[in-house]
Structure 1
Amino acid sequence: MNQTNHQTCRTLTEASARNAAQRPGRTALICEDRRTSYARLHRDSNRAAHALAAAGIGRGSRVAYLGRESEHYYLTVLACAKAGAVIVPVNWRLTSAEVEHILRDSSAELLFLDEEFQSVADGALAGPGLPSLRTVVRLDGTGQDGARDRGAGLRDWYARAPQTDTDPGTGPDDPVLQIYTSGTTGLPKGVVIAHRTFFTLPEAMRASGADPDDWIDWRADDVSLISLPGFGIAGIGWFLHGFCAGATHVVMPMYVAAEAVRLIRAHGVTITFVAPTMLQMMLDERDATPETFASLRKIAYGAAPISEGLLLRSLETFGCQLAQIYASTEAGSVAVCLPPSAHKPGGPLLKAAGKPCPGNEIKVVDRDGNELPPGEIGQVCIRTPAHMVGYWNRPEATAEALVDGWLRMGDAGYLDEDGHLFLCDRINDTIIVAGQNIYPAEVEKQLSEHPAVADAAVVGVPDDHWGEAVHAAVVLRPGAEVRPRQLLLFLRGRLADYKIPIRYHVLDSLPRNPSGKILRRSVRELLGASEAAPA
């Protein structure tokens, strides 16, 4: 880890200026073979920051981005930081209605838009109106050769702006990022993240004297593959941690296993962050050989533990260190890590999430908030300096999640005698498919709007390929009939495709507790005993 990089910076604005001064010619970003140096990234993001200010965007303003990952996305992230604004990345897999909610809820004043998602944006903007949204900046344009250029529109927008440094007056505790994630209500909430989030872990590791090889680390000489979407904390957080270290980043607009394998070999990638299913997909590629991955020093993975079979294949083929991450959008940064030393075939800790990283603390509590002893299952709580500022405009939800500095993670688990965390179930019922969070209440709400459906419950069931698969249990109205494919077609356009259940089960009733809450564990048991109807 580059110690100096982190000691001298407290904000992304400062980190950008430092990188441009210390390593101007080093490549910051590689995307589809286009290279951007740290000097150019700093200069162009300065111009974009001035253009934001000219458009009336100031400190605390929300700026949305709807587009795939590219050098243009990360430029706008830094431009917002330099203008004192907050970037709101929008999941490009969402429907128009879902995008409209985020634009409205965030009070976004400006939208950066990739032409690929113009129709989705048109649907979002066609409603009753978004009073706060004043400006739409299209990223695309025509290059000098007359062909489509994904960055030409953005460059034209800030072309006349000065390239001088900006001083938005922000500090480490000021917000810079707002990521939308759902809760048990099914309504997406904006998680507000501050500048400090991307500096606390390296600072804590340095202060503790911890060996970076034992944890997750980013180095100035790293070549990092960004394979997870930038609209989630995993993708944008991985980039920003590496950016603050001065590393080079190879950006994938969308994850394709064959392309990931090619990029690792072509660019000498040294570090990356993936979901276990992405490891499996790379290993299944024809060109996946130890020689292909010779440059790798460490792979971080998250969203699910690694199976022993996948571990054996990974150690044999990737030939590098493996580290598991446990975190959440609300935690901001890596909270818990299972270090490379625990990744041994037959190792007793392979089913553990790990131990808290330097600077973090962990405890497990009962329903009354009392700390439980080792071995007893309760709610997992993390204390980390990287935690969110709060939920945007939702003080009550923030107060429920952050209690006396402790973040309630929404997961059930227990600690062993040595302080390793073992997860048992998700208290908030989140389903994770290939690293993507899906919230049952959101899907159930849409299912219940079908005229044949009287009641609905959505659960995740184990899936060898994706980690989990989405299944739905429905109770039909008296005399109603509906085919699974009809339900699937009904949900298309209402939900992003990855949220739509792949199996539908018809039940006479749903198991509920006395207060009316669906007993999801009982639903899973019922589904396991019933015959699944394929969509």
Structure 2
Amino acid sequence: MHEIQADGGPLQQIPDDLTISQFILDAHHPTRPVPTRPHPWLIEEATGREIGSDELRIRSFGLANALKIRWDIGEDDVVCLFSPNHVDYVVAIWAVHKLGGVVTTSNPAYTADELAYQLQLTKSRLIITHPEVVAVTLEAARLAGVSPDRIALFDPHPGSVHANLPDLISLGLKQQQVFTERRLKRGEGKTKLALLLFSSGTTGKPKAVMISHYSLIANLVQTGQYFRLTDDSFPSEQKRYKTGDVALGILPLFHAYGLHAVLMGCMFLRVTLVISPRFQFERMLQSIQQYRVTHLYLVPPQAVLLCKSPVVQKYDLSSVECLMCGAAPVSAELTEGLMRVFPKSVIGQGYGMTETATMISFLQLDRRIGTLGCAGILIPGMTARLVRPDGTFAGYGEPGELHLRSPALAMGYFDNPTATAETFKDGWLHTGDEVVINEDKEVFVIDRIKELIKVRGFQVAPSELEGHLFDHPDVADVCVVSIPDEYSGELPFAFVLLKEDARLRVQADPKAMTETKRVIMKHVSDHKARFKWLAGVEFVDVIPKTASGKLLRRVLRDRARSMPKRRIPALPHTKL
């Protein structure tokens, strides 16, 4: 058996001449449910303000007109969004797309150095940011050579000289239209770039994944066909969504899971989405109760809090009908804990990647609780094969690296032909994940061959931290591995070979050992986002490597996990 074809039959037609906003706002697809009554598309969590499709359409038009008037944003120009979640996040994306531009989204926890790298790589012409992170934005713009007058704010800020979206939208609606909305030719959707989303690789810094409008639309069609919401022959009790459902948008919109799977997915399925600026645990509980949330999309650390925090008992969570967890593997124990908190809810996992734009598998529709440890079943249009280390194909129930073929695959990595050639080969995506698929098409993710560390759902490339640690004057060699953590799933841990003078200093004074470890950890925390900070440092006499010089990371990872448990510096549990 070389290939595993997902069930669900051939995919229905995927439009290749529409942008993603035109597909969601102005088109209909046979897999998309028809609304039975008007409903808000978005709700602003803090105020309860409801926003419908007409308002989204008008605001997108107004902003597009203003972006053209003010900065002449046009074909293939890149606009960077650097902000916590905001109800105008999708308005900004669709406005740029109307002009033929491209959007790159950035983690608002980034340092100025990290943001500057993204701005330079993507050649961003404009940054739309938030008052909370404007200081970082200004420094990053300076480092990247972006003029301060090319910064706009999502919200007004007292004393700010920067334009803000409410004023820009007002300007665009008052002025005569100066742009022509970008219309795609037949087939152009497959090559017209929509998003540059960042994904860490196994080497160097994060890479920009090139996602076309067609890829985004294709995955929504795959999702719609999987859920069978318009299939009258499908049992109504197995239909996961209905008019009037409400989801909570606590996942970050800069991330493919939050942006595509949740935000655009809910819009396509006609589910109202409550936009939360960021994850705060008790605020999440309040919103579930206040807005009678029916659908929760979480990452494992959030699920852990639901299972362990006594605060949960103060709130009525009975409205929750479906809870999906993704971005990192979910243990059987965690699933069982969620079953106790939500005894009547559908509970399961999904699996996706930025490079597949986004979903690969979903929880089985005929089950209330997914198979423990299972990441769901392949969605229609997915073809998989499992490849052993010797290059031969594995069969059902046998582990192998997952290769995928799908109409939703990304176009590759921006300005990085080497990485593209390594990952996208002959129409197949080499995921780097070691997977088992059984005869029921259930997917079990065993390990990450590509060795990424998943911290609260965010990817951390060991090589990025290793490259940074090499710059420290005391470090001669280093290997970063993952260690398990109950809240974050995994955390990065560094094994360090000290330079000779530092080694002698540490040997002579136990206090010097503690201080050196602290300084090395601070070297990371001063320059990297919070989720990349080290959980600890261990000094070693040698960093094990193969004869060719490749790190034997698994050896040190096993050593780290066999070490006595230590107190790990607490990560803030209130936000991602």
Question: TM-score with structure 2 length normalisation?
Answer: 0.83
Instruction: State the alpha-carbon separation in 1 of the partners of residues 111 and 304 from structure 2.
Output: 29
Specify which of 153, 175, 190 is matched with residue 138 of structure 1.
Answer: 153
Q: How does 1:378-527 map to 2 (within 5 A)?
A: 378-480=400-502, 481=506, 482=513, 483-527=516-560
Deviations along 1:354-387, whole A, 9 cap, x unmatched?
Answer: 3211111211113465422234332111212111
Deviations along 1:51-90, whole A, 9 cap, x unmatched?
Answer: 2222221122110011110112221012122222111111
CA RMSD between the two structures: 3.3
Instruction: State the alpha-carbon separation in 2 of the partners of residues 468 and 18 from structure 1.
Output: 42
Q: How does 1:90-489 map to 2 (within 5 A)?
A: 90-127=106-143, 129-130=145-146, 135-141=150-156, 153-162=164-173, 167-170=181-184, 172-173=189-190, 174-204=192-222, 210=228, 219-237=242-260, 238-286=262-310, 288=312, 292-318=316-342, 319-339=344-364, 341=366, 344=369, 349-367=371-389, 369-480=391-502, 481=506, 482=513, 483-489=516-522
8 A contact 2:227–2:240 mirrored in 1: no
Specify which of 66, 86, 89 is matched with residue 51 of structure 1.
Answer: 66
Is residue 2:53 matched to residue 1:38?
yes
Q: Post-superposition shift, 1:465?
A: 2.3
Question: TM-score with structure 1 length normalisation?
Answer: 0.89
Q: Post-superposition shift, 1:404?
A: 2.1
Instruction: Give the counterpart letter for 1:321 in structure 2.
Output: V
Deviations along 1:74-110, whole A, 9 cap, x unmatched?
Answer: 2101212222211111111111111000000001111
8 A contact 1:261–1:282 mirrored in 2: no
Q: Post-superposition shift, 1:47?
A: 0.8
Percent of matched pairs sharing the same residue: 26
8 A contact 2:492–2:533 mirrored in 1: yes
Task: Say which is worse superposed, 280-289 or 263-272, in terms of deviation.
Answer: 280-289
Q: Secondary structure at the match of 1:485?
A: helix
Q: Post-superposition shift, 1:277?
A: 2.0
Instruction: State the alpha-carbon separation in 2 of the partners of residues 27 and 234 from structure 1.
Output: 22
Instruction: Give the counterpart letter for 1:451 in structure 2.
Output: P
Deviations along 1:417-474, whole A, 9 cap, x unmatched?
Answer: 4433322211111011111111100111111111111111111112222211221111
Q: Can you give the 5+ residue segments of structure 1 that lack an aligned partner in the other structure?
A: none
Q: Can you give the 5+ residue segments of structure 2 that lack an aligned partner in the other structure?
A: 1-11, 29-33, 229-233, 507-512, 570-576
Task: Say which is worse superposed, 213-222 or 110-119, in terms of deviation.
Answer: 213-222
Q: Secondary structure at the match of 2:459?
A: strand
Instruction: State the alpha-carbon separation in 2 of the partners of residues 52 and 215 from structure 1.
Output: 44
Specify which of 60, 69, 83 is matched with residue 67 of structure 1.
Answer: 83
Specify which of 11, 18, 26 is matched with residue 19 of structure 2.
Answer: 11
8 A contact 1:201–1:358 mirrored in 2: no
Instruction: State the alpha-carbon separation in 1 of the partners of residues 549 and 239 from structure 2.
Output: 43
Instruction: State the alpha-carbon separation in 2 of the partners of residues 66 and 112 from structure 1.
Output: 6
Instruction: State the alpha-carbon separation in 1 of the partners of residues 79 and 226 from structure 2.
Output: 37
Task: Say which is worse superposed, 331-340 or 318-327, in terms of deviation.
Answer: 331-340
- Does the C-alpha gap of structure 1 residues 533 and 276 become closer, same or farther in structure 2, counting only changes over 3 Å? closer
Greater RCO (Cα-Cα under 8 Å, separation 6 or more): 2
8 A contact 1:215–1:357 mirrored in 2: no
8 A contact 1:68–1:253 mirrored in 2: yes
Instruction: Give the counterpart letter for 1:333 in structure 2.
Output: T
Q: Post-superposition shift, 1:289?
A: 5.0
Q: Secondary structure at the match of 2:214?
A: helix
